[in-house]
Structure 1
Amino acid sequence: MFKGWISSNIPAEGAGRRLAAGSLVNNFGNGAQLAAFPLFLVSVADFSAAQVGLALMIAGIVGIASSPAAGWLSDRMTPSRLLVLGGFAQGAVAILLFFVNTVLALCVLAGVARVLSQIVRVARLSIVAQVPDATRNVLRAQMNVYSNVGVAMGTAVSAAVIAVGSKDAYLAGFVLDSVTFVASALVQQGLPSQERSPRDKHAQPTASPWRTALKDRRYAAVTVLNGFLFFHQSVLFLGIPLWIASTNEIPKVLATVIFLMNMAITILLQVKFSEGMENLRTAAVAWRRSALAISLACVLVYVAARAHGDAVQILAVLSAALLFTFGELWHSSTEMEVSTRLVPEEQHGLYQGIFALGRDAAQTAGPFLAALFCVSLNPDGWLILTALYALFAVAAPYALNRMHEGPVANQPTAAESAL
């Protein structure tokens, strides 16, 4: 069984293996800085918590706004070349962040780091989007597995850096992050990607990525719907831990158990759930299953909030976390499919950048909304979430099926022709 899991999680082609390896190395560095970076800014660089929060919020907004432009740039250049250049630039910025000593410098460098992160992510997804239908979704799932493994390994390093707490230890974390960015770029250097035709190379650049998004209403709708479904991540990883912390009846360690359980299951089953994802119809089925699982999970947390007795509450919360995890697996299996089926030819980068807006908006608004529904409006907030995801389970798959039956946007791609 273990050998079968190993073989199913190793990409068949050399290019796919290099993408997976790049994801592993890149996310190892990201994981190493995930918790250490904000603590470094407060405890070593002597910024206040408010200054750090403001700088990171500004950087996040800049990153979101740059996503379509990053995709447009990926279309103007080859995605593989942009992926490598972005990785080298990330390595340089990672080191510079260690030396920031003013709020302005922190805002600028953190903003540049987020823009580069968007560029690398969109370029990588643009390459995956050009993979043939039969292997594209599985490859994305395999990359997600390696990303999760990388983050888990990096988090362990981050814990060690924080435990030591010295300036030299934090510097080692910054150097490690920089090295992993460069190593990831080197591993992925020379990856095959679609070349622009001579006619397209001399075409005038798109006037506004935002205008393109607004013109393609079907793709904008898919982006918004996917972003809403992605919000369940904030509920699981922030809403439930905050709710646990707000009650005195459930052990606080349960939040850690939920995190570890989610990571283990997603690593084991991510590829399995991606198999059979062939078109928008199969994506619609997965969307419905995901939303129903999340809706039922919210009901279970509501039951836990109303119940008395540790055993009942713990069982209900763990069951809810399991359903959230299956909802995540069904959802993540669809993202590559719904983000590529409606894309005009030779505009994969721009459209991947637009698609990322939904996820990024959910990540940005997620903490506030999760705290609102899961804590401030507790327990009724869980019923509101139940109703919202139940409505999604009915309406969103119907919308996807209509898009499957309708005409493709602009020019057909090879993937769309397979419909």
Structure 2
Amino acid sequence: MLSRLSEKAARPGWTTASWWRRPVGPVYLASLTLSLGKGAWFTCWAMFFLHSVGLSTTEFGFGITAAGVVGMLAGGPLGYLADRVGARETLITLGMVQGLAILSYMFVHGFWPAVLVTCVMIAADRATPGIRIALISGLTTGEERMESISTNRAMTQGGIVVGALAGAYVLALDNSVGYLGLVLVYGTSSIGCSALLRRVPHVESLNERKVRRSVLVLRDRPFLLITLFNGLLALSWGMLDSGVPLWITQHTQAPLWVMGVLMGANAVVVVLFQNRVSRMAVTVRGAARLGLWSGVLLAVSCVVFAGTDGGSATTVLLLLAVGAAVHVVGELFFVSSGFGLSVALTPDDAHGEYQGMFSTGQAAALTFAPGLMTVLLVDGGVAGWFVLAGLYAVGGVGTLAASHWALRRGCGTAGRSTA
């Protein structure tokens, strides 16, 4: 009997029905559903545009950059709208808009129609994570809030990995039927995400509370600085997605399949450890320290990767593995720091606008990272790694300094309200 009780107590929460019946349960399911389609889509969307839509590589590059800028600028206004009319309702609408935009790719031909649809799709995609955090923040309090946000991140990462495997299969087929099927899967997963969110309890909006106020986050200078420095740390995503593969192909003799192993290992580590690391970010001071160490570790990973230039095959593989291991710890620290600071420094009735603004820094990193990595690592060589290390160091030190400034101003107190 005792062994049975201890076994039951040791069961992970996600294996129990009660865990999923919590108010945030449908949010997890919605995130998982969307990330499956997202992982498949972004694995091979470049080939879809080049082979099915008929764009040139230059047109594709211009189109995704333009869409990225639109997505970067959309986060703040859509976040404020979420506070005004409701985070759940805004997420449901964004999911429907994104799904319909994706499905319209089946009928899109030519450059400008593809750019227009992509701008709509990317704007919804980039705004959704911040508003989702705002929704979770409205459904939870205290330490449960941070645990729920980091759990959602792990769910999303796991779904993207599984989806990417499906996308790899579509890439192997490399035909119009496979790409159109992928469009259908991603579009329906986005709409399905909206349907699941209807099961989430409603979070009272500013309109329902009769609160009238202007935008607050633009006057919160410490928070804006933290957003900027977090954006520098967010370059770590682009570093792994585009920087390291470009470096491997241009400056080493390592086989490209190594990149798949490194990215797969990165995803597994994030899924397994994001929750645990996030427990160190429940306070502003704890999250600030994680931000500092993130910058240090990401800088160290750059130095390690720089050491692969001109090395022997065994040395290169070993250094790539070490660099990726240091990088993923830095990424865990950076993400957890961002969660902790962006939530703890936000007034209780302004999570949408603050998260929308905070996501702007990360969206900027995602938009400009491919071009920056090309300039620094392909053209700059080893020196480019040290410039990138310097950017991470600035991001880490700046995060710590700006967080201390926020605390001196009295920010980060639980239950702050703007009403």
The letter of the residue matching 1:96 is S
Is 2:41 the counterpart of 1:41? Answer: no
Q: What is the CA-CA distance between 1:413 and the residue it aligns to? A: 5.7
1:210-240 Cα distance to aligned partner (Å, 9 max, x none): xx54422111111001101111222222212
1:405 corresponds in structure 2 to 408
The letter of the residue matching 1:123 is I
2:299 corresponds in structure 1 to 295
Alpha-carbon separation, structure 2, partners of 1:9 and 1:326: 27
1:129 corresponds in structure 2 to 137
- Report 1:184-333 matches (<5 A): 184-196=193-205, 200-201=209-210, 203=212, 206=214, 212-305=216-309, 308-333=311-336
Alpha-carbon separation, structure 1, partners of 2:15 and 2:401: 32
Alpha-carbon separation, structure 1, partners of 2:283 and 2:115: 42
1:176 corresponds in structure 2 to 185
2:415 corresponds in structure 1 to 414
For structure 1, the residue ranges without an aligned partner over 5 or more in a row are none
Moved more, 154-163 or 25-34: 154-163
1:111 corresponds in structure 2 to 119
DSSP-derived class of the 2:53 partner: coil
DSSP-derived class of the 1:27 partner: helix
Alpha-carbon separation, structure 2, partners of 1:385 and 1:118: 24
Paired residues of 2:252 and 2:316 also in contact (CA < 8 A): no
- Report 1:131-150 matches (<5 A): 131-150=140-159
Is 2:360 the counterpart of 1:357? Answer: yes
Instruction: Flag the 1:73–1:388 CA change in 2: closer, same or farther, 3 A.
Output: closer
DSSP-derived class of the 2:280 partner: coil
Q: What is the CA-CA distance between 1:22 and the residue it aligns to? A: 0.8
Q: What is the CA-CA distance between 1:391 and the residue it aligns to? A: 4.5
Moved more, 115-124 or 154-163: 115-124
Instruction: Flag the 1:373–1:167 CA change in 2: closer, same or farther, 3 A.
Output: closer
Paired residues of 2:252 and 2:308 also in contact (CA < 8 A): no
Alpha-carbon separation, structure 1, partners of 2:342 and 2:335: 11
Q: What is the CA-CA distance between 1:295 and the residue it aligns to? A: 1.7
Alpha-carbon separation, structure 2, partners of 1:382 and 1:167: 39
Alpha-carbon separation, structure 1, partners of 2:162 and 2:337: 26
DSSP-derived class of the 1:201 partner: coil
Q: What is the CA-CA distance between 1:77 and the residue it aligns to? A: 0.8
Residue number among 80, 91, 96 corresponding to 2:88 in the alignment:
80
Instruction: Flag the 1:390–1:63 CA change in 2: closer, same or farther, 3 A.
Output: closer
1:138-157 Cα distance to aligned partner (Å, 9 max, x none): 11111111111111111122
Instruction: Flag the 1:385–1:164 CA change in 2: closer, same or farther, 3 A.
Output: closer
Alpha-carbon separation, structure 1, partners of 2:175 and 2:372: 35
1:305-346 Cα distance to aligned partner (Å, 9 max, x none): 26x322222212210110000001111112222112222342
The letter of the residue matching 1:154 is G
Alpha-carbon separation, structure 2, partners of 1:414 and 1:141: 20
Alpha-carbon separation, structure 1, partners of 2:378 and 2:59: 26
Is 2:7 the counterpart of 1:7? Answer: no
1:95 corresponds in structure 2 to 103
Moved more, 189-198 or 240-249: 189-198
For the aligned residues, what is the CA RMSD?
Answer: 2.6
The letter of the residue matching 1:399 is A
DSSP-derived class of the 1:275 partner: helix
State the TM-score, normalizing by the size of structure 2: 0.89
The letter of the residue matching 1:414 is G
Paired residues of 2:161 and 2:264 also in contact (CA < 8 A): no
Query: Percent identity over the alignment?
Result: 22
1:344 corresponds in structure 2 to 347
Q: What is the CA-CA distance between 1:415 and the residue it aligns to? A: 6.1
Alpha-carbon separation, structure 2, partners of 1:249 and 1:38: 25
1:366-392 Cα distance to aligned partner (Å, 9 max, x none): 112222222322212222333443444
1:19 corresponds in structure 2 to 27
Residue number among 67, 73, 76 corresponding to 1:59 in the alignment:
67
1:148-179 Cα distance to aligned partner (Å, 9 max, x none): 11111111221222222333222221111122
For structure 2, the residue ranges without an aligned partner over 5 or more in a row are 1-6
Alpha-carbon separation, structure 2, partners of 1:127 and 1:342: 16
State the TM-score, normalizing by the size of structure 1: 0.89
Is 2:40 the counterpart of 1:32? Answer: yes
